[in-house]
Amino acid sequence: MNETGSLMIIGGGEDKTDAKDILQKFIALAGGPQQPIVVITAASKVPNDVWEMYRAAFEALEASHVSHVRINHRGEAEDEGLAQRIAHARGIFMTGGDQKRLVTFIGGTRLEQAMRGAYENGACIAGTSAGASGMCTHMLAEGKAELAPEKGAARLGAGLGFVTRVIIDQHFSERHRINRLLSAIAQSPFLLGAGIDEDTALIVHGDGVEVAGQGSVTVVDCRHARSNVADIAAGAVPHMLDVRLHLLPSGCRFTSADQEGALADFITYLTDRTSEHDHR
pLDDT tens track for 80-115: 999 999 999 999 999 999 999 999 999 999 999 999
6 catalytically annotated: no
Evaluate whether residue 1 is within a structural domain: no
Choose the catalytic residue: 171, 183, 227, 246.
171
Q: Which one is catalytic: 14, 150, 198, 210?
A: 198
Query: In which domain, by residue range, is 90 found?
Result: 6-275
In the prediction, which pLDDT does 269 show?
A: 87
Q: Rounded to two decimals, what is the model's pTM?
A: 0.94
Tell me, yes or no, if 138 is annotated catalytic.
no
The pLDDT tens digits of the residues spanning 204-252 come to 998 899 999 999 999 999 999 999 999 999 999 999 999 999 999 999 9
280 inside domain:
no
Q: Which tens digit of pLDDT belongs to each residue from 249-262?
A: 999 999 877 776 77
Model confidence pLDDT, tens digit, residues 161-180: 999 999 999 999 999 999 99
pLDDT of residue 274: 55
User: Read out DSSP for 228-275?
Assistant: -TTTSPTTPPPPEES-EEEEEETT-EEEGGG--HHHHHHHHHHH--S-
For residue 52, the domain's CATH number is 3.40.50.880
Measured between alpha carbons, how far is 265 from 267 in angstroms, rounded to an integer?
5
Instruction: Measure the CA–CA gap between 55 and 47, rounded to whole angstroms.
Output: 12
Residue 2 has pLDDT above 60, yes or no: no
In a domain, 28, yes or no: yes
Catalytic residue among 44, 129, 133, 256: 129
pLDDT confidence of 276, banded at 50, 70, 90?
Answer: very low
Domains identified in the chain, total number? 1
Among this protein's residues, is 173 annotated catalytic? no
Average pLDDT over residues 21-45: 98
